Amino acid sequence: MRVFFLRHHLSQGPAAESLALAHAEAYMHILRSLRVGGAFCYVPALPFVEALLPAPGYRCEPIAPPEELLTASRAVIREAAGLDLARASRVLRTA
């Protein structure tokens, strides 16, 4: 989901906007489904979305990505999709 989320967020046109909105809605659905104290962890980080999270309900923290992602394939994915797998995030539901 995250690869497509970023790609559609950065793309132009009505189809890209529609898909970016669908991914944003899915992301928020996941966050709303968390119990207070629950967490959603993902790679790569989505700073352009995380900055919009409501502070009273969620807290976003950078975390170390799983070791298996820190391999030679990371460079291939970064070049192909423009993603940096060295950045991961954890969003905690606080309220």
Contact assessment for residue 88 and residue 42, using Cβ atoms and an 8 Å cutoff: yes
Q: What pLDDT digit, counting tens, does each position of 61-74 carry?
A: 999 877 766 665 56
Residue percentage of the chain with pLDDT more than 70:
66
Predicted pLDDT at 48: 81
Cβ-contact 51, 77 below 8 angstroms? no
CB 43 within 8 A of CB 68: no
Orientation angle between helical segments 2-10 and 72-81, nearest 10 degrees: 30
- The reported pTM is 0.70
User: What are the tens digits of pLDDT across the range 10-44?
Assistant: 566 777 777 778 888 899 999 999 999 999 998 88
**Which pLDDT belongs to residue 3?**
45
Q: How far is CA 67 from CA 1, 4, 43, 56, in A?
A: 20, 23, 12, 32
